[in-house]
Amino acid sequence: MVREGDKAVSLTLQEQQVIAAIQGDIPVTARPYADIAARLDMTQEHLLAILRDLVARGIIRRFGATLRHQKSGFEANVMVAWQVDATRIDQVGETMATFRAVSHCYRRDPTNEWPYNLYTMVHGRDEAACRSMTAEMAAKTGVVRYEMLFSRRELKKTSMQYFKAGA
């Protein structure tokens, strides 16, 4: 059983198996969904149909990826908090997301103490490369107010576990 809004929803065994298969690390291959589907003895098309249905029903609301930047050859990364005019935030976000050095780009509500409403995670060879990329992003979008928050160490990243594999 899972919650869908105010009600409990039963999942089929196959839906539980699909959720168990995607809740951990996704294979880093040319066709990760095909690999997952093969492990579950189904076609990629069937797996994707189940995932789309779970999303449409609100069972899966977020599907994210974690970049382990140190293992990817990046020695530095910086979370950049941008203060963007609300009327331009979609356009600016779309532009910033096109930069290859950006792995994450998302909007958050600002507060009186922290007026930033758009965030990007920028990866580079070193801090100077991150600073240069951030300046290029600022120039391209015309956003001049931002804060750079450099990572000093990588914390353990884990995925939620809703079902055990083979459930």
pLDDT tens readout for residues 9-42: 789 999 999 999 988 777 778 899 999 999 999 9
Q: Residue 61 domain-assigned?
A: no
Domain that holds residue 92: 69-150
146 Cβ contact list (under 8 Å, min separation 6)? 80, 81, 82, 83, 116, 134, 138
pLDDT of residue 135: 97
Same domain as 88, residue 50: no
Same domain as 74, residue 52: no
Domain count of the fold of the chain: 2
- Token pair of 117 as six digits: 């409403």
Pick 96 or 155 by higher pLDDT.
96
- Token pair of 123 as six digits: 């990866």
Question: Is the model's pLDDT at 164 over the cut of 70?
Answer: no
Q: Residue 160 domain-assigned?
A: no
Q: Residue 75 domain-assigned?
A: yes
Q: Are 151 and 79 in contact (CB under 8 A)?
A: yes
96 Cβ contact list (under 8 Å, min separation 6)? 82, 102, 105, 118, 120, 137, 141
C-alpha span between 141 and 116 (Å, rounded): 15
Chain mean pLDDT for the chain: 85
Q: Residue 63 domain-assigned?
A: no
